[in-house]
Amino acid sequence: MNVRKFPGQIAVFALALGAATCAQGQTAYPTKSVRIIVPYSAGGPADIYARFIGDRLQKTMGHPFVIENRPGAGAIIGTDAVAKSAPDGYTLLMMSNTHTVNESLFTKKPYSLLRDLAPIAPVNYSDLILVVHPSVAANNLKELIALAQAKPGTLNYASSGPGTPYHMAGELFKAMAGIDVVHVPHKGSAEARTSVLAGNVQMMFDAITTMAPLAQSGKVRAIATSGKTRSAITPNVPTLSEAGLPGYDAVIWLGMMAPAGTPKAIIDTLNADIQKIANSPDVKETWSRQGAVPMHMSAEEFGKFMEQDIQKWAKVVKISGAKVD
């Protein structure tokens, strides 16, 4: 090729090549380890699935995804740490519907969820299961409601803290059943579970993924599940809706977010990889055995989903009168 004959074309080609190389350099992600902050204690669903997703992302992306538990203040401490992190894709948040509840439950927070954090992707959802300690004189939902009505303020239910799905499922139960049971918050779901197993607290709503095996072994008594239909892993346990509270529906869902301002290219990369993981046959099978159902949305759809969930739980917070200052 005669360089002097085509100087203009060569110059244009060189500029295009340089621009492409620059663009590739800007969108290369990740180039180092990524931190996933879980604003809950170890051992709960968010922690378990954060580690699962982190391990899969590490295999596909070639860099470590390190899980860091930062529990406290109803998930606010860990969430605020992510909101204040650099928006570069190297600090992510494993979140749940605790976060959408907190938007109306907490009157003072150092961040606003959809202003200070960017949606990436949902992960999965699972039903909750209402269980009681074997010493409780109730074998089904109607008997439990009757017992609570006969002894108002004497039955307690455990949760992993204000605003968590376990707490709000209990508040929705109280409101729909018209009963007075006392909320006993704990530092994490493992601690709440232990209180119920020991009989120190009479009952709780817990993720079916972690509580079902304990119910099946007889350590607690399963009363009902919280979804619209019966769970495949507890087919003999009715839903609250069919057992006496028509329309009851409360699940726990998990998702991933990043600091607001994180480049869209990084958000899209993470969304695509998380969706691919959740859609793989082996993951679907594993999660199905655990009672978890994959969720599939774009980042934009996930943001709209959260907006709707914020509105849903704001109504429950208002009805129940629950508030945290």
Q: Final residue of a domain: which of 243, 265, 280? A: 243
Which residues, at least 6 apart from 281, have a Cβ–Cβ distance to it below 8 Å? none
What is the pTM assigned to this prediction?
A: 0.83
Q: Are 245 and 173 in contact (CB under 8 A)?
A: yes
**101/72 same-domain check:** yes
In a domain, 52, yes or no: yes
Q: Kindly state whether residues 49 and 39 are assigned to the same domain.
A: yes
Task: Judge if 165 and 306 occupy the same domain.
Answer: no
Same domain, 118 and 163: no
CA 92/CA 119 separation, integer angstroms: 10
pLDDT at 164: 87
pLDDT at 44: 86
Residues 239 and 132 occupy one common structural domain: yes
**Residue that finishes a domain, picked among 181, 212, 243:** 243
| Residue 285 tokens, joined | 């099978």
The answer to whether residue 312 sits within a structural domain is yes
Q: Which amino acid is at 206?
A: D
Closest CA to 37 of 124, 97, 96: 96
293 in a structural domain: yes
Domain assignment present for 191: yes
- The pLDDT value given to residue 325: 64
Write out the two tokens for 232.
């495949």
Give domain status of residue 20, yes or no: no
pLDDT profile of the chain (325 residues), mean per 10? 47 42 60 97 92 97 97 93 98 96 92 98 96 98 98 95 90 94 92 96 94 96 96 95 95 96 98 97 94 96 97 87 72
How much is the pLDDT for 140? 98
Nearest to 116 by CA among 152, 148, 91, 146: 91
User: What is the number of domains present in the chain?
Assistant: 2
pLDDT at residue 37 in the model: 98
Same domain flag for 239 and 224: yes
Query: What is the spatial distance between Cα 292 and Cα 17, in angstroms, rounded to a whole number?
Result: 46
- Asked whether residue 24 is assigned to any structural domain, the reply reads no
The last residue of one of the domains, among 243, 268, 283, is 243
Does some domain include residue 25?
Answer: no
Residue 12 lies in a domain: no
Tell me, yes or no, whether 119 and 80 share the same domain.
Answer: yes
The alpha carbon of 207 is separated from its chain's Cα centroid by a whole number of angstroms, namely 11
Provide the residue range defining the domain that includes 84. Answer: 32-125+252-320
CATH number of the domain that 272 lies in?
3.40.190.150
Q: What do you get for the CA distance between the two ends of the chain, in Å?
A: 75
CATH number, domain containing residue 184: 3.40.190.10
- 3-state helix, strand and coil shares in percent for the chain, rounded to the nearest 5: 50, 20, 30
Q: Indicate the burial class of 17 (C-beta count within 10 angstroms; 0-12, 13-18, 19 or more).
A: exposed
**141 and 237: one domain?**
yes
